[in-house]
Amino acid sequence: MIATSIKWSRYNLFGKPFDVVLSLLVIPGVLWLACSIVEWAIMSAKWDIIVQSLRVLMIGVFPADQAWRAWTASAIIGATLGAGLGCVFHFRPHHGLVLLLVPVLLLIVDRGFGNALPASGIITSTILGWSLTSYVSASRKVLPAAAFTGFIVVVAVMAPPGVGLWGGLLLSVLLTLVTSVLSLPIGILLALGRQSRLSSLRIICTWYIEVMRSVPLILVVYWIWILVPVLAPRWGLADVARGMIGFTIFYSAYVAEYVRSGLQAVPRTQTEAARSLGMSEFDINRSIVLPQALRVVVAPLVGNVLDIFNSAPLVFIIGLTDFLRAGQMILANPQYGDRTFEVLSFLLVTYFLIGSMITYAARKLEDHMATGSR
């Protein structure tokens, strides 16, 4: 292993004179920066602020006496996401050890606050869902129905205190899931409509896609938030629902372009052969075109999910308390004015871990759907 490392360093870090100079400048700087960060995190940082404020970071301004509802919903979402991971790649014991490392560290720093216990339960439910679909193949067949039922239960459990009280990381995850699920079928229909032989339908879909891709997301969310009460005052939609509608309307246009690129990758000879066999356009798209097109655009679609999650903080403009906004609320307290680096570091690490897991799952999904692996 040492010989392999030396060989890799010789060819990748010190292969040319310029590489030698660049490595001698960059490597010491990176090591110094890493050591400084580790020293600060271990010796100087006061991480008790994270444990004390974990409830606000996770569920926002949700009432403390009703927090069990939010934790129950989070556990259901974790189990559903874990079950989805199990369909892509199998659970291994070391995966569970890595996931449990986070709540263990929080429990060590907890010191009796009790805020780290719900996080441990959520991660445990995720591991259980992951292991279930990994080792019990029959559970994968009922996963779509179970996920839909779980979403209904989540809404029913969290609705009584008020939809407007949803917040924190839970709101960011819910916004990402709802937008990702709803924008996919809408985007597929828009992509098919843009390639339709009906000129009117094609023009409408093209106009919609180009308009949505030409304006910023924050403008769409803000206008939906304003126009829905004006156009439909009797509906009484909550701010959360209007924010989800704005996100879905916006990202459906991007999904449509991704799917359209996949549709163009399907050879025309296959559709022509299907028409010669007497298949209808619906059967051709459902059985031949879409399965191949979606396989091609797996990476962009998963990247779109990551974009949705990273854009969730924009809902602050309509008064919602997402994960980032919850951190800002904590720092607004004069008592915690000197804990800026601790709170922002926790936010950074959380966003990085979630983004890394989404990217890792995307790579595994691509390998799973690759033609050569079947």
| DSSP, res 348 | H
Q: Identify the helix (H) or strand (E) that includes residue 321.
A: strand 321-322
How far, in Å, CA of 134 to CA of 88, rounded?
9
Question: What's the predicted TM-score (pTM) here?
Answer: 0.84
Is the alpha carbon torsion for 76, 89, 354, 358 positive or negative?
Answer: negative
pLDDT at 370: 61
b/e for 185-222, b at 16 or more Cβ within 10 A? Answer: ebbbebbbbbeeeeeeeeeebeebbeebeeeebbebbb
How would residue 116 be classed by pLDDT, with cut points 50, 70 and 90? low
Q: Identify the helix (H) or strand (E) that includes residue 38.
A: helix 17-39
Whether residue 373 is predicted with pLDDT greater than 50 in this model: the reply is: no
Q: What is the DSSP string of 130-154?
A: HHHHHH-GGGGTTHHHHHHHHHHHH
Percent of the chain with pLDDT over 70: 87
How far, in Å, CA of 197 to CA of 211, rounded?
21
Q: In this structure, which topology does domain 165-374 adopt according to CATH?
A: MetI-like fold (1.10.3720)
pLDDT digits (tens, 9 = 90+) for 157-183: 888 888 888 888 989 999 999 999 999
How far, in Å, CA of 60 to CA of 54, rounded?
9
pLDDT digits (tens, 9 = 90+) for 320-358: 888 988 888 888 888 877 788 888 888 998 899 888 888
pLDDT at 302: 84
* Cα–Cα distances in angstroms (integers) from residue 342 to residues 35, 59, 310, 324, 349, in the given order: 17, 19, 20, 13, 11
Percent of the chain with pLDDT over 90: 15
Whether residue 374 is predicted with pLDDT greater than 50 in this model: the reply is: no
How would residue 98 be classed by pLDDT, with cut points 50, 70 and 90? low
Whether residue 112 is predicted with pLDDT greater than 60 in this model: the reply is: no
pLDDT at 143: 84
Contact 297, 289 (CB under 8 A): no
Whether residue 4 is predicted with pLDDT greater than 80 in this model: the reply is: no
For residue 315, what are the contacts with CB-CB under 8 A and spacing of at least 6?
171, 175, 221, 243, 322
